[in-house]
Chain A
């Protein structure tokens, strides 16, 4: 049945349409309106697992989409190790999130709308990962962006939500322009949009280059495609949209802004890896951007008080980790970390949602002491946090270790430093978050009276916790899927021990500092300018909103003014000039016959005089 893998997006689109037509107009809040989405996503998960078993069968379907001159552009789906892996991740996380949402979104007036968009998102995301050509990939890429926009702005009455939605879309679009240009360049060089055909042409060196030499061309195209990945995967400097995106409902953050869509950038680079692999400069850029993003975002996460924003910066940081792995040339490590991260980060977001559901606040300063009241949430959150911190034997330990190993083997000091520092910071801020949320005494009335969430929410938590715990077992399977049966990187014991020591150090430090609560200890320990740097998020946000956005608006205002006054002014001046000339000459046609005769006679006399004077 794996041959039907390509039908998965269609089921989800159908579910979306059914929900949109049947339930959204009635503003249904009944659980039945979630049913089409649940069934479609569930069925997609079944298809994905079937497909996973058959991913070596090289399944491929396609249909002609557009004919332009000599170009016949097809769209289609291809099943290989990479797409099968992504299908499994996307559909299973989506399923867990949809089930959880049935409880989390209960009673919301946009209940049906929520599930309609979630189904559409799942469809687009599945389309993105199985696309056999760049054009379809780009189209799905934009569609997941649209769903993200609609879901971030889900609570549209809140001005922050409306703003964040717009910001997310526009900022990622900056990156998408690069992607689009890269795609155009590449399509002409290869004469096709089909990824496997492009790969074949790159491998045989038969690209028909429109400009430049092969290395330069490949570098430019890789970097342009990377621009798209930077926007979507929230890498520096386009990462600013992701923390704001937390205005959306928490399950949305879990699915879209932690597990799947934001990982699409990493997936894109992995998909086009044959191109990056022969462009060393591009690889270096990917490494540096990834490593820097990982470190920078982790430092910002240290000082956030919004439970979701901590997780958002953590996501940015981990995506940077994956990018860095790609830059180091280790596609398997990156994709493996993408997989484990999808489960433990969506788990963490869903536990955060559970906490928010119970305490009606997102500020950790108003939480505390929830451990006794919400045992399932606290326990699963702990599993997620430890997995993220990279504690043996949870999934994050294995995948993070592979990335550090790649840096170690590559002898890349920058990557290794960034990786280890980030690991330390990650363990620190996750402990801080968990301790502030669950330990100590309740710091608000709501926290005092918090209750565990209903089973429809806690069961998905438990399932994801299992995945986050044992995900490390998937390492070999992922390697097989991506590289076939090749050589296996073995665990490097010194490195693993070192990384664990670092993580434990981070945990111990944070535990010691935050166990007692009180004022922010970092504010005391860290020099003021440095603390301000972290609090102001390295001033990147300030730069974009304060300088770039303001300049753009000023420029637009100036252009609008020029158009109204200068360009149109000339038009009006012409009209005025014509009118004024007419007014000056009006006395010539005053309607008096005598005057006309006078002019006539004078003219004749003048003509006669002129003619006569010629003859003399």
Chain B
């Protein structure tokens, strides 16, 4: 048991990676075998993540399930894993999204083998980022989770896929450049010259000026991935062009990776810088919320609507971070999870609707609910969470964020709350245009979701409602984690 506890995180990272290699050995025409392998691998990571959550010690708090192996002692690099109350929920989120994502992309026939192995490779990186406590590995995993995106979008995407893939990759690499410079500076400025985050937290004393500059670098670098205004335009193009599972993973998990980076690297290592820049962070977050929501309202392509809604919702995450108190950080981290599940569900649904109706133009749709009631219900569940209806995860997250931020910056709450009206407007508008009203000609044989596709819809929809009705399932973890971050920020 003890061995298990010390190595579970490594297992979670390695299982997808090994499966990725194994899939490469399977003959390309045995597609079902590969799909089952991917499903089993992601199923195992899901079970392991759930097991971690069960074993999490709420009383102890701090970083748990630690594993440390010296890698290059001379350079202060170690393979150091561990999760706190916040990152454990993000590991769980990733596991849920990849598990359902594999099922949502069951029908991919074109180069299935390459697709699945790249997808699993990518998810290895994502798990790695959330579990890494060493900046070197953090960055390594970060790049692993960003780069396969180029191929995944470029090969299996739709629309202007090459353009979108190139734009997304270059944009995110620009962010990586900021992060890399910031990390190198952190390393050289630290007294012991180490990449280890807990060591840095203990020993490093950065001057106020250093903190201000370095936080800004991390904020911009990670912020690009979190879709902060005006550096967000890779997101609509990228998410709209990407294949279903990749959109799910990217909007659902990778954008959180950006926000998590701001929290774990930026705010915890550079607390004074974070405090200094918090008003800017909050202002931009509010712009994200309102601007993203209006942009979503102005779209006619279903995938663009969802993509812009992510820009808007990530604003809530960043706003909560800027609030820097217990409620707002809990709301922010809850929103990471809630938005991940919700947008994963949305992209799965949009993929299904597109696959069956062959259009993404909402003006050409209508009355689909009769032909695909299951998809419609799932879409409404996701939509309700998106505009923060009580009983869904989105409500708890948004309420806690706005409630908390009011203590720090009341005006941000006033404007941010207005965002939920705009969100309700565009979500209900899409529901109306796509699912309600009379059905145009030519859509007489739209099928509803099929066996494997139900997996994604049911699991994700159920989580949205479950964590909305019983939020303590999540917030108990977040509480513990947020408390640690607040201590670093000297807010408690």
Q: How far is the CB of A75 from chain B (nearest CB, A)?
A: 11
Partner of A166, one of B171, B294, B325, B432: B432
* Contact status of A559 and B403, CB under 8 A, knowing A162-B436, A180-B417: no
**A71 surroundings in chain B (CB, below 8 A):** 327
Q: How far is the CA of A65 from the CA of B396 in the complex (A)?
A: 11
Nearest chain B residue, comparing its CB with the CB of A142 = B390
> Which of B326, B370, B421 gathers the greatest number of chain A CB atoms within 10 Å?
B421
**A478 surroundings in chain B (CB, below 8 A):** none
Contact check, A560 vs B299: say whether CB atoms are below 8 A apart.
yes
Q: Please, what's the 1-or-0 string for B452-492, where 1 marks a CB less than 8 Å from any CB in chain A? A: 00000000000000000001100110010011000000000
Q: How far is the CA of A187 from the CA of B12 in the complex (A)?
A: 42
Q: Is B50 positioned at the interface, with any CB of A under 8 Å from its CB?
A: no
**B442 surroundings in chain A (CB, below 8 A):** none
Q: Please, what's the 1-or-0 string for B199-223, where 1 marks a CB less than 8 Å from any CB in chain A? A: 0000000000000000000000000
* Contact status of A68 and B327, CB under 8 A, knowing A166-B429, A166-B432, A559-B298: yes
Among the stretches B28-36, B122-130, B406-414, the one at the interface with A is: B406-414
Q: How far is the CB of A561 from chain B (nearest CB, A)?
A: 7
Chosen A-B contacts, 18 in total, with CB atoms closer than 8 Å, are: A69-B326, A139-B395, A140-B390, A142-B389, A156-B435, A157-B438, A159-B437, A162-B436, A170-B425, A173-B421, A177-B421, A180-B417, A556-B298, A559-B295, A561-B298, A571-B167, A571-B171, A575-B170
Q: How far is the CA of A68 from the CA of B325 in the complex (A)?
A: 10
Contact check, B471 vs A65: say whether CB atoms are below 8 A apart.
yes
Contact check, B472 vs A67: say whether CB atoms are below 8 A apart.
yes
Q: How far is the CB of A151 from chain B (nearest CB, A)?
A: 13
Q: How far is the CA of A605 from the CA of B286 in the complex (A)?
A: 58
**A139 surroundings in chain B (CB, below 8 A):** 390-391, 395
**B426 surroundings in chain A (CB, below 8 A):** 556
- Please provide the 3 A-B residue pairs with the shortest distance between their CB atoms, ordered closest to farther: A560-B298, A69-B326, A139-B390
Q: Is A66 positioned at the interface, with any CB of B under 8 Å from its CB?
A: yes
Nearest chain A residue, comparing its CB with the CB of B230 = A567
* Contact status of A177 and B403, CB under 8 A, knowing A157-B437, A556-B294: no
Q: Is A163 positioned at the interface, with any CB of B under 8 Å from its CB?
A: yes
**B167 surroundings in chain A (CB, below 8 A):** 571, 575
Interface hits, B388-404 → A, CB 8 Å: 389-391, 395-396, 399-400, 402-404
Q: Please, what's the 1-or-0 string for A66-89, where 1 marks a CB less than 8 Å from any CB in chain B? A: 111111000000000000000000
In the complex, given contacts A67-B476, A177-B418, A571-B167, what are 20 additional A-B residue pairs having Cβ atoms less than 8 angstroms apart? A68-B330, A69-B327, A138-B390, A142-B389, A149-B428, A156-B435, A157-B370, A157-B438, A166-B431, A169-B428, A170-B421, A173-B420, A177-B421, A180-B399, A553-B297, A556-B426, A560-B298, A563-B233, A567-B230, A570-B230
Q: Is B369 positioned at the interface, with any CB of A under 8 Å from its CB?
A: yes
Q: How far is the CA of A553 from the CA of B432 in the complex (A)?
A: 16
Q: How far is the CA of A159 from the CA of B436 in the complex (A)?
A: 7
Q: How far is the CB of A185 from chain B (nearest CB, A)?
A: 8
Chain A interface size band reads 35 or more
Nearest chain A residue, comparing its CB with the CB of B426 = A556
Q: Is A339 positioned at the interface, with any CB of B under 8 Å from its CB?
A: no
Contact check, B435 vs A66: say whether CB atoms are below 8 A apart.
no
Q: How far is the CA of A558 from the CA of B237 in the complex (A)?
A: 18
Q: Is A181 positioned at the interface, with any CB of B under 8 Å from its CB?
A: yes
Q: How far is the CB of B377 from chain A (nearest CB, A)?
A: 9
Q: Is B424 positioned at the interface, with any CB of A under 8 Å from its CB?
A: yes
Q: How far is the CB of A308 from chain B (nearest CB, A)?
A: 21
Chain B interface size band reads 35 or more
* Contact status of A174 and B421, CB under 8 A, knowing A65-B471, A157-B367, A188-B406: yes
Contact check, A560 vs B472: say whether CB atoms are below 8 A apart.
no
**B326 surroundings in chain A (CB, below 8 A):** 68-70
Q: How far is the CA of A158 from the CA of B476 in the complex (A)?
A: 45
Q: Is B150 positioned at the interface, with any CB of A under 8 Å from its CB?
A: no
Q: How far is the CA of A558 from the CA of B402 in the complex (A)?
A: 27
Q: How far is the CA of A163 from the CA of B402 in the complex (A)?
A: 30
Q: Is B379 positioned at the interface, with any CB of A under 8 Å from its CB?
A: no
Partner of B295, one of A138, A149, A184, A560: A560
Q: How far is the CB of B320 from chain A (nearest CB, A)?
A: 12
Q: Is A462 positioned at the interface, with any CB of B under 8 Å from its CB?
A: no
Q: How far is the CA of A140 from the CA of B389 in the complex (A)?
A: 10
Q: How far is the CA of A570 from the CA of B233 in the complex (A)?
A: 10
Q: How far is the CB of B211 from chain A (nearest CB, A)?
A: 25
Q: Is B384 positioned at the interface, with any CB of A under 8 Å from its CB?
A: yes
Q: Is A214 positioned at the interface, with any CB of B under 8 Å from its CB?
A: no
Q: Please, what's the 1-or-0 string for B219-251, where 1 marks a CB less than 8 Å from any CB in chain A? A: 000000000001001101100000000000000
Nearest chain B residue, comparing its CB with the CB of A555 = B294
Q: How far is the CB of B405 from chain A (nearest CB, A)?
A: 10
**B230 surroundings in chain A (CB, below 8 A):** 567, 570
Q: How far is the CB of A33 from chain B (nearest CB, A)?
A: 16
Q: Please, what's the 1-or-0 string for A167-210, where 1 marks a CB less than 8 Å from any CB in chain B? A: 00110011001001100110110000000000000000000000
Nearest chain B residue, comparing its CB with the CB of A146 = B389
**A483 surroundings in chain B (CB, below 8 A):** none
Q: How far is the CA of A165 from the CA of B369 in the complex (A)?
A: 15
Q: How far is the CB of A22 from chain B (nearest CB, A)?
A: 15
Q: How far is the CA of A364 from the CA of B437 in the complex (A)?
A: 27
Interface hits, A123-178 → B, CB 8 Å: 138-140, 142-143, 146, 149, 153, 156-159, 161-163, 165-166, 169-170, 173-174, 177
**A552 surroundings in chain B (CB, below 8 A):** 297, 425
Nearest chain A residue, comparing its CB with the CB of B471 = A66
Q: How far is the CA of A157 from the CA of B389 in the complex (A)?
A: 25
Q: Is A568 positioned at the interface, with any CB of B under 8 Å from its CB?
A: yes
Q: How far is the CA of A575 from the CA of B400 in the complex (A)?
A: 40
Partner of B428, one of A70, A159, A166, A571: A166
**A571 surroundings in chain B (CB, below 8 A):** 167, 171, 233-234
Contact check, B472 vs A66: say whether CB atoms are below 8 A apart.
yes
Q: Is B346 positioned at the interface, with any CB of A under 8 Å from its CB?
A: no
Q: Is B115 positioned at the interface, with any CB of A under 8 Å from its CB?
A: no
**B429 surroundings in chain A (CB, below 8 A):** 166
Nearest chain A residue, comparing its CB with the CB of B407 = A188
**A174 surroundings in chain B (CB, below 8 A):** 421
Contact check, A187 vs B403: say whether CB atoms are below 8 A apart.
yes
Q: Is B291 positioned at the interface, with any CB of A under 8 Å from its CB?
A: yes
Nearest chain A residue, comparing its CB with the CB of B417 = A177
**B471 surroundings in chain A (CB, below 8 A):** 65-66
**B297 surroundings in chain A (CB, below 8 A):** 552-553, 556, 560
Q: How far is the CA of A519 from the CA of B6 in the complex (A)?
A: 86
Q: Is A557 positioned at the interface, with any CB of B under 8 Å from its CB?
A: yes
Contact check, B472 vs A65: say whether CB atoms are below 8 A apart.
yes
Nearest chain B residue, comparing its CB with the CB of A568 = B233
Contact check, B437 vs A162: say whether CB atoms are below 8 A apart.
yes
* Contact status of A146 and B295, CB under 8 A, knowing A162-B432, A163-B432, A567-B233: no
Contact check, A156 vs B436: say whether CB atoms are below 8 A apart.
yes
**B396 surroundings in chain A (CB, below 8 A):** 66
**A138 surroundings in chain B (CB, below 8 A):** 390
**B384 surroundings in chain A (CB, below 8 A):** 146
Q: How far is the CA of A187 from the CA of B236 in the complex (A)?
A: 38
